[in-house]
Amino acid sequence: MAIVRRRIGLEQEFFLVDEAGNLSDIRADEFLKSCQFIAQAQGLNPNYFVAEFVKSMVEINTRSADTAKELARIYLKNLKLAISVAQQMGLRLYPLSSYPLPTMPVMRDHPNYHIQARTVGISKFLHAGKCTGTHLHLEVPPGVIDPRTENC
């Protein structure tokens, strides 16, 4: 019987805050461009540093890994880079799931976000901009998912 190896991946969302703990809507793109530039210079994939649907959130991703140990190594390397860039910019990554102070998220101007906001209502959609998450992607064995379904 052949051993089926399944891969795992990770993405973690962070609030981007200044040193006083205030959300930083205006510096997220600058932060991400710096992360991507340094990642590329270090031979890492720059696409692992991604904007979220609100400007005060960023996301750090990993490639798929064969083991939890490999996933942790990849993730920690990406996280270390992001923390270093943030510190150089006078910013911090806030990893807790909800931001504790009153805020009104600023949505990015992309058609897919506008469609989602119209579908559920702008106030409900923006409510999601007040919380972050960590998502673990698990590969499943062939045949588990109906091949007629489309990947999301």
pTM above 0.95, yes or no: no
Q: Kindly indicate the confidence band of residue 139, based on its pLDDT and cuts at 50, 70 and 90.
A: confident
Residues 6+ apart with CB under 8 A from 69: none
Q: In the structure encoding, which two tokens stand for residue 109, read together?
A: 């101007």
Number of Cβ within 10 Å of residue 53's Cβ equals 19
Query: By three-state DSSP, how is residue 67 classified?
Result: coil
Residue 13 near residue 128 (C-beta atoms within 8 A):
no
Long-range (24+ apart) CB contacts under 8 A made by 142-145 are none
Q: 75-109, pLDDT tens digit by residue? A: 999 999 999 999 999 999 998 888 888 888 888 88
Listed as own residue / partner, the contacts of 30-38 with beta carbons closer than 8 Å and 24 or more positions apart are 30/89, 31/58, 31/85, 31/86, 31/89, 31/91, 32/58, 34/85, 34/88, 34/89, 35/81, 35/82, 35/85, 38/81, 38/84, 38/85
Interval 100-133: pLDDT, tens: 888 888 888 888 888 888 888 888 887 788 889 9
**Whole-number CA gyration radius for the chain:** 17
